[in-house]
Structure 1
């Protein structure tokens, strides 16, 4: 006899199982992402673990889809993170970010080859920019000279417990370190690093080796801006490299809140967008609440109508002798072992009500 329960062999049960599988697949697809640096991308190139890093240091985190978040959050005690934006910030958006930093917020901008971070940094009055050329190091690297290990770490609160940072096809920063500038270099590459000008994966005569800054911090207004020469340093796979995770946690630990600004990155999954929009919109929450109440009321009314229509048959079922039904079910089970339990009970009740020996 089959090990599959009889109830599961019925067409109705199979339909339910199929619907559950299909619904689970749709929900999973609508709530995950494959976008590089994506907040809901749990693969190696996603940044889904950033919220976990915030939680590890008891810091609240949220994902933002619009720069209006800079106007609604308290700058003091908040750090916002921007990973290689894929489009320019408008003047209005720049004004929001600038006001956030000037009023005491901390901003982290991580960039390598994108074209939109430098204009934002310049508009904020930051003395650091992103070079944009590929940095290689044939002495200190992980797996490949393109995965550079920056070994020159300056002592500061942000680098406590950090001996190195690992960049994955990153670049370096152009930092103003003049006496008038308050820019602080947090981490430099090793003295063997160089820019691969023509990207031929080799050190050429016209290229020079030497330490280059890969992470800086400087005060801007009442706040601070931290610039990192590689957004990949914060992806899931690279957080496992020595120093990277600790550096991120140090940045988050000084704050009460972390805002992950994805307003200028590839769109989030539909379900995740919907959840964030509902969370951030009081009126939308109220509307959905009213819709839910209305749906419950309609469902209750429909159940009442069904009970009214089925009143007679329902009374017949109630008046049925359970022992008599069980005897009929047992008899039919012996006569028709191939029938499932639903069919056995349905036929038994039919015979009891109609008083005849046919289905």
Structure 2
């Protein structure tokens, strides 16, 4: 087989194909992650689906690798997601989130058993807290009692078209005066000893799992199950509708990954390049130089 002025055999094509496949594999690996809840994790336990919700709603998605990003968006038109952070926010970082909410932003904090979300809620001055005791429901459930279905929803724009939420090993929210949007059924209970059985000291009753409260001109939504937003759970009733309701009436989705380990190299590089006009210039000049060299070599060899 002849390509241009060169004779290329099938072994060469095979090697080229293998190299291309390897490069594609490296590129995919470098642009995705395996982090649970990760915004770039397309697997069942990843959180890439929330970005798809925003895309379907024709919204712009901004990834916040640093909390300074909160100051770069139009607060009143932005909804931000903090999903089970792996480390705590400093006072200065939390102040940026508080300013975002005070100026009209909507902040969704989703957590079950890690400690850092309650720390953040305290820094923000909210009343709601995550009660880190497993919630079960042996009657209203998906698969098992550890997947309770929350059946009580309030009438609110944030629960539009939401009749229930399907949860996955959730905690609950101690509302403390905040507005309760979604509650578990009257047959749910807190499994305090973790034996997956309703004991004599455990009471059947309804518990808050989603709350909202005003902070300045904005609001903070607290969800006691971050798994609600993973890809496999978004398809369960009515989790996708809830995600849709959260992002509606906004122009921008901000996904806060500033306190998780998710750092796909390609995504980080693109973020740095996008934020640096100087690097964009250097990259453009370099790419142009490479094209010129390749073109000249082609003319010489022909």
Please report the TM-score for the alignment, with normalisation by the length of structure 2. Answer: 0.93
Match of 1:196 among 191, 194, 199: 191
Q: Is the 8 A contact 2:91 2:123 kept in 1?
A: no
Match of residue 75 from structure 1 = 75
CA separation in 2, counterparts of 1:76 and 1:228?
21
Structure number with greater CO (CA < 8 Å, separation at least 6) is: 2
CA separation in 2, counterparts of 1:241 and 1:8?
53
Q: What SS does the corresponding residue of 1:80 show, helix, strand or coil?
A: strand
Shift in Å, 1:239: 0.6
Q: Does 1:225 align with 2:256?
A: no
Structure that is richer in strand per residue: 2
Match of 1:266 among 251, 261, 264: 261
Match of residue 130 from structure 1 = 130
Q: What SS does the corresponding residue of 1:287 show, helix, strand or coil?
A: helix
Larger Rg, first or second structure (1 or 2) = 1
Match of residue 39 from structure 1 = 39
CA separation in 2, counterparts of 1:250 and 1:277?
31
Unaligned runs of 5+ in 2: 1-6
Match of residue 4 from structure 2 = none
C-alpha RMSD of the superposition: 1.6
Match of residue 90 from structure 1 = 90
Match of residue 110 from structure 1 = 110
Match of residue 168 from structure 1 = 168
Q: Does 1:49 align with 2:49?
A: yes
Q: Is the 8 A contact 1:59 1:253 kept in 2?
A: no
Q: What SS does the corresponding residue of 1:68 show, helix, strand or coil?
A: helix
Match of residue 271 from structure 2 = 276
Aligned residues: 296
CA separation in 1, counterparts of 2:169 and 2:274?
36
Shift in Å, 1:300: 4.3
Match of 2:281 among 263, 281, 286: 286
Match of residue 22 from structure 1 = 22
Aligned CA distance change for structure 1 residues 233 and 8 (closer, same or farther; 3 Å) = farther
Q: Is the 8 A contact 1:131 1:173 kept in 2?
A: yes
CA separation in 2, counterparts of 1:88 and 1:80?
17
CA separation in 2, counterparts of 1:223 and 1:99?
9
CA separation in 2, counterparts of 1:91 and 1:301?
56
CA separation in 1, counterparts of 2:246 and 2:60?
13
Deviations 1:231-254 (A, max 9, x none): 000011111111110011011012
Please report the TM-score for the alignment, with normalisation by the length of structure 1. Answer: 0.79
Match of residue 64 from structure 1 = 64
Aligned CA distance change for structure 1 residues 287 and 8 (closer, same or farther; 3 Å) = closer
Shift in Å, 1:272: 2.1
Deviations 1:131-181 (A, max 9, x none): 01110011111001000100011111111111001110011000112xxxx
Q: What SS does the corresponding residue of 1:76 show, helix, strand or coil?
A: helix
Match of residue 242 from structure 2 = 247
